[in-house]
Chains A and B, each alone.
Chain A
Amino acid sequence: QKEVEQNSGPLSVPEGAIASLNCTYSDRGSQSFFWYRQYSGKSPELIMFIYSNGDKEDGRFTAQLNKASQYVSLLIRDSQPRDSATYLCAGPASNTGKLIFGQGTTLQVKP
């Protein structure tokens, strides 16, 4: 069973701090990863995707992919209360059209 694993949290950080969310995966064939944010009662919303080793930055968000160690992370700089949500990591099952989702990490940003 190919898996994507996340710590469910909650991860609590003070406003203005850096939040670090991590995800490990078992399928070495995975080439791309996606981070989704889900507010309570809402649908998942794509916030970042990364296809290659290294870092990808978009505003306050940085996604990091390390294929050798099979982990992917999401850094949120200058965390705000509006960032409080569940963050889902997802990676494709090799050679299929499927995504495998982690359980999600709940982030709480405290004012």
Chain B
Amino acid sequence: DAGITQSPRHKVTETGTPVTLRCHQTENHRYMYWYRQDPGHGLRLIHYSYGVKDTDKGEVSDGYSVSRSKTEDFLLTLESATSSQTSVYFCAISESRDQPQHFGDGTRLSIL
């Protein structure tokens, strides 16, 4: 299995609080991604990174920010969480843009 660790695995928090999710990889892959998965919407890309300090937006980036200061870590931040951001969040990595993506185990986030 690809060495991808997401933390925390579960989190419950309140509306308006900041939340940071972490994705850590041991594969030295260049590309890292954050997705959310909701019933009826499938997997939707939030942000992705193609190198240290190089990031770009996905289709549902509003309300989220990311940072990548090291190859192995990609952080997703919800500056002020809203109930609409309750979801399962997956991190994925790939060696290059034409290679398959491999997913972490996910973080289940509930915002009350």
Contacts and interface: CB of A to CB of B under 8 A. Distances in A.
Nearest to B2: A46
B42 A31 contact: no
A contact residues, range: 20 to 34
A102 B42 contact: yes
A44 B90 CA distance: 9
Interface residues of B, number: 21
Contact of B98 (A31, A42, A101): A31
A45 interface: yes
A104 B42 contact: yes
Interface in A1-59: 31-32, 34, 36, 42-46, 49, 51
Q: Main secondary structure on chain B at its contact with chain A?
A: strand
A44 B103 contact: yes
B74 interface: no
A44 B43 contact: yes
A32 B98 contact: yes
Given A32-B98, A42-B106, A103-B41, 7 more contacts: A43-B104, A43-B105, A46-B101, A98-B58, A99-B101, A101-B43, A104-B42
Query: Which 9 residue pairs are nearest across A and B when measured between Cβ atoms?
Result: A97-B97, A43-B103, A101-B43, A103-B42, A46-B100, A44-B103, A43-B106, A97-B31, A97-B50
15 contacts: A36-B103, A42-B105, A43-B90, A43-B105, A43-B106, A44-B90, A46-B100, A51-B98, A92-B98, A97-B31, A97-B94, A98-B58, A99-B33, A101-B42, A101-B43
